[in-house]
Amino acid sequence: MTRDIGHFIGGKRVAGASGRFGDVFDPNTGEVQAKVALAAQDEVRAAVENAKAAQPAWAALNPQVRARVFFRFLDLVHQEKDALARLLSSEHGKTVPDSHGDIQRGVEVCEFACGAPHLLKGEFSDSAGPGIDMYSMRQPLGVVAGITPFNFPAMIPMWKFAPAIACGNAFILKPSERDPSVPMRLAELMIEAGLPEGILNVVNGDKEAVDAILTDPDIQAVGFVGSTAIAEYVYKTGTATGKRVQCFGGAKNHMIVMPDADMDQTVDALIGSGYGSAGERCMAISVAVPVGEQTADALMERLVPRVESLKIGPSTDESADYGPLVTEQALKRVRDYVDLGIEEGATLAVDGRDFTMQGYESGYFMGGCLFDHVGRDMRIYKEEIFGPVLSVVRAKTYDDALELPMSHEYGNGVAIFTRDGDAARDFAQRINIGMVGINVPIPVPLAYHTFGGWKRSAFGDLNQHGPDSIRFYTRTKTVTSRWPSGVKDGAEFVLPTMK
């Protein structure tokens, strides 16, 4: 018997009223485990009205009082982390240890949000003019929203709502309809932690709900993570209606392997970053670029047996390297890309297309695939595959290797593996990518730094978490103040200056 998942509006779960539902699958078995309501425009509007009514009182609270809600929330998440991880894995397919990492990275941004009282402090200038003081303050926008993807159903919702709510905003969350249960539970835990009803609302849905968010006149800002095509649509639609918008899209993350790299360390990094979570990460390494034929041959010699020996299992198998993909459509898409790579002339050194999991034959499992001799004009190089597929593009020189990510349309993350500090420094200085790893394969910054790509991996001026998140969810107001005591009165007809 399947369960029904509705929405979370006004501090409680409510049933969907649109009459439209989506299937939530168990990726391990291929079975439908739940039906999720797909919100109509009026249901999104109901969430906005709840948020709009609750937000002024929340914003009026001392920011330290708001931060205390997050301290209590963190305790509740810690108490429930095992159940949350199992719930996340059951809908996404990533292994339970990987789900723990998903939750932990979200928790770290909530910890950062606990510092909002300090982060919201403005600037002050005493005696900026005769008897004049000048100061600034950061104030919340009002009602804001986040549209988050399936691949991190705990982390990215927390990346969005934690800084927004800590700054005094009310938040509308539209999570992925593929794995909606954990975002719903997080909203309940926020209420248990003392968040007023209406400050965090969750509306499940598809494009109709997205469009309702983008066109609602009371939503002041929208954050999005997903594919580049949809990121661009959200950015253009949202900004056209006067909203502040930040959107993060696709990626094709390269790892440059220099001839002096520690090859064992490099292979370990490629295996973990390329195949972890079945490659369904926007920061996954999907392109390895060895410099020189000797380096490439040595890399392939070590990579092939490692990819062939990857342990694939159900999400409940904590010893598995990765689990199933999220849906049957995702599995078919990745298999089609592997077929395409063969047609394009790449060498398929390891073929995982026919992998089946005993006892889980209807699950969405796929073995690891490894391509060699991939060309820069091939679609498998240019497009994001989002699966357990690693492509090796051989480069003759360091400059040839550097030019590959430099000229690619995506600019999310990049890495270089080398023992040469000069090469690493040159690489970090010259590369036109938003997040750079030096002997670090997945350079996701910690919560107190900012996360964001360049080029067609990101739309908007401000990034996620870190100081940028506080800037994104607030407006700066500058006050110039003079008290009349001891100051000569008289009309002034010129623009005030520092003279």
Annotation says 282 is catalytic = yes
Count the Cβ atoms, other than its own, within 10 Å of residue 493: 4
CA dihedral defined by 308, 314, 181, 328, rounded to 10 degrees? 60
How many Cα atoms sit within 13 Å of 433 on the Cβ side? 31
The string of DSSP codes covering 16-35 is --SS-EEEEEETTTTEEEEE
- Token pair, residue 344, equals 């394009």
DSSP SS3 for 46? helix
Please list the residues that pair with 416 across neighbouring strands.
Answer: 256, 438
Q: By the 8 A CB rule, do 374 and 380 touch?
A: yes
Residue-wise DSSP of 231-297: HHHHHHHHHHTT-EEEEE----EEEEE-TTS-HHHHHHHHHHHHHGGGG--TT-EEEEEEBSHHHHH
Q: In angstroms, rounded to a whole number, what is the distance separating the alpha carbons of residues 48 and 45?
A: 5
CA distance 7 to 4: 10
| Nearest alpha carbon to residue 195 among 165, 219, 217 | 165
Residue type, position 233, single letter: Y
Residue linked to tokens 């091939």: 378
**Annotated catalytic residue, options 110, 114, 247, 282:** 282
Q: Edge-to-edge strand order for the sheet containing 474-482? A: 124-129, 132-140, 474-482
3-state secondary structure of 385: coil
Q: How far apart are CA 74 and CA 290, in angstroms?
A: 43
Give the residue numbers annotated as catalytic, written as ranges.
Answer: 282
